[in-house]
Amino acid sequence: MSPDPTERRLDDALLDVEGISLSFKGVKAITDVSFRVGQGELFAIIGPNGAGKTSIFNSISQVYRPQEGDIRWKGTSIMGSRPDRVAELGIARTFQNIELFPHMTVLENLLLGRHIRMQRSWLAGALWVGPAKREEMANRRAVEDIIDFLEIEQWRKHPVALLPYGFQKRVELGRALAMDPELLLLDEPVAGMNLEETEDMARFILDIREELGISMILVEHDMGLVMDIADRVLVLDFGQKISEGVPADVQRDPAVIAAYLGDEAGLAAAGS
């Protein structure tokens, strides 16, 4: 029997999160959480409000520093790294609340995502000659490819503040893609969207995996979306891992049912 594709991916995991715990003045946000994300995998983290999902993202990007455990990128610990160094290594993220520059254009916001990939000095960039000019032109081409990929050509020269909400979410995604990541952290990418916008975003997420080959960790409250597109799902409750597996198995897990519906409803559902 051939090995499961997910198992093959995890044999050479991009990201290893091992036993991390995070607390703030004695309040536990994450307790002994471990998981791995493989090459090309779409991994989802779900849980009720306050379960610790965004805290895990902040720990991976090293905005927060877990007091226990380790986080390894391609086998090397990134604990204690600066957030900009984590981004340089190939880990990019979007935010639950849109964090764009509203008075700058779509093109300008996306170009900001290329900043960490630009090697020339500010002086060379100001003079805009020779290698500096070629570098900027190459980065502009990369951004134009992202604009085409996300189908936002009509908005490219518009200030972000003038865009409909769903398109602002696309620009947020595009800025993360502009960083050339190998792993993309998506923090509630469809929050606040209507059905059509949600379907469009789901299509782009799948295209990112299939066409660009980028691994992703998705935090999302839309359970229909998660169960439809994720390869594997991790469930948190009060900062602890209560389940992990393929969507079908997670949906049937009594601990997951109890966490979402309450103990009595969970036990009834588990016994039915």
DSSP secondary structure of 131-187: HHHHHHHHHHHHHHHHHHHTT-GGGTTSBGGGS-HHHHHHHHHHHHHTT--SEEEEE
Looking only at the bridges linking them, the beta strands covering 15-24 and 27-37 are antiparallel
- State the pairing for strand pair 68-73/76-77: antiparallel
* The predicted structure's pLDDT at residue 65: 94
Binned at pLDDT 50, 70 and 90, residue 264 comes out as very low
Contact 235, 219 (CB under 8 A): no
Q: Which domains does the chain have, with CATH numbers?
A: 1-90+182-272 (3.40.50.300), 99-180 (3.40.50.300)
pTM recorded for the entire structure: 0.85
Lowest mean pLDDT segment, chosen from 15-19, 127-131, 243-247? 127-131
Q: What is the mean pLDDT of residues 11-28?
A: 91
* pLDDT tens-digit series, residues 161-211: 999 999 999 999 999 999 999 999 999 999 989 999 999 999 999 999 999
On whether the CB atoms of residues 244 and 235 are closer than 8 A, the answer is yes
pLDDT digit string (tens) for 147-162? 999 999 999 999 999 9
More confident residue, 228 or 140: 228
Q: What pLDDT score was predicted for residue 114?
A: 83
Q: How do residues 81-126 score in pLDDT, each as one tens digit?
A: 999 999 999 999 998 888 899 999 999 999 888 877 666 554 444 5
* In the predicted structure, residue 248 carries a pLDDT above the cut 60: yes
Predicted local confidence at residue 89, as pLDDT: 94
Q: How confident is the model at residue 3 (pLDDT cuts 50, 70, 90)?
A: very low
Q: What is the pLDDT of residue 221?
A: 86
C-alpha to C-alpha distance for 168 and 178, rounded to whole angstroms: 15
Q: Provide, rounded to the nearest whole percent, the portion of the chain with pLDDT above 90.
A: 67
DSSP character for 153?
G
